[in-house]
Amino acid sequence: MSNVKKIVQCVPNFSEGRDLEKIERIINPFRGKEGVKLLDYSNDFDHNRAVVTVVGEPEAVKAAVIEAMGIAIKEIDMTKHEGQHPRMGAIDVVPFIPIKNMTMEEAVELAKEVGKEAWEKHKLPIFLYEKAASSPARENLATVRKGQFEGMAEKVKDPDWAPDFGENNIHPTAGITAVGARMPLVAFNVNIDTPNIEIANKIAKNVRHLTGGLRYCKGIGIDLKERGIVQVSMNMTDYTKTALYRAFELIKIEARRYGVNVVGSEIIGLLPMEALIDTAVYYLGVEDFSMDQVLESRMME
């Protein structure tokens, strides 16, 4: 078993979604590296954020991520950053997801190694979150990020919120980063045909778990000013227990009370095939369906 390769997925989120040249420089360390494969990257103008998905061998992925973080620190000035998505740093979040021949405990250890090296090499303070969290209060990313970049310098002076790696201060232009380990997450956004952000906020409040909604759903309202509409932006933290179609249908129900309609949805980054198959089975009303009936699933066995 010692020769079996371990595969980890990493989905770093960078606080730059508008300058394509900057984005290319930031993701360049993920290209042409042995043991690392760049699967996907996307950027959003309104969110002002880029989401990158890479997989590979743990040590190779770690080296590439540390290099990309260094470039992002040089390229992104958070004192000038504006965007609809909550953020606290130039590299806002770096989650590691065990994919093959790797345990969650090993992903946690990898997250800690990256956090330690990011501080030592780049002087970027780090919070550990989700499965790597140093205390229960730090497991939820929304709680960790509360206050965002503008309030983080004051927040980390509180002993309860001292960085896991670094001093009780933030990087002056790059802020602070959350590094962690978690299960696969689906970034799922639903668009609504109104420019009223309050409607999106109210719907998000009724959909997300924190305020009484779906158990494995996090959500916020986003103003898509370029399109003149709003969005309920969600992270589905366990698609096997809270299916995408449930969130979609609940948003449609909530939208009707305000006289508005769902006009589309989007997936950010990659997602497991099962998450979409499950939704297709629901809308088609397929009986007794099994993943064994999916051609690609059988081919990959």
Closest C-alpha among 21, 52, 20 to residue 37: 52
Q: If residue 220 lies in a helix (H) or strand (E), which one and from where to where?
A: strand 217-224
d(CA 105, CA 144): 21
Largest Cα span, the chain: 59
d(CA 236, CA 271): 10
85 is annotated as an active-site residue: yes
Q: Is the C-alpha dihedral spanning 225, 231, 236, 237 positive or negative?
A: positive
Closest C-alpha among 6, 105, 26, 106 to residue 66: 26
Q: Tally the C-alpha atoms within 13 A of residue 69's C-alpha that lie toward its C-beta.
A: 33
Tell me the CA end-to-end span of the chain in Å, nearest whole number: 19
Q: Which of 47, 81, 85, 171 is catalytic?
A: 85
Catalytic residues: 85
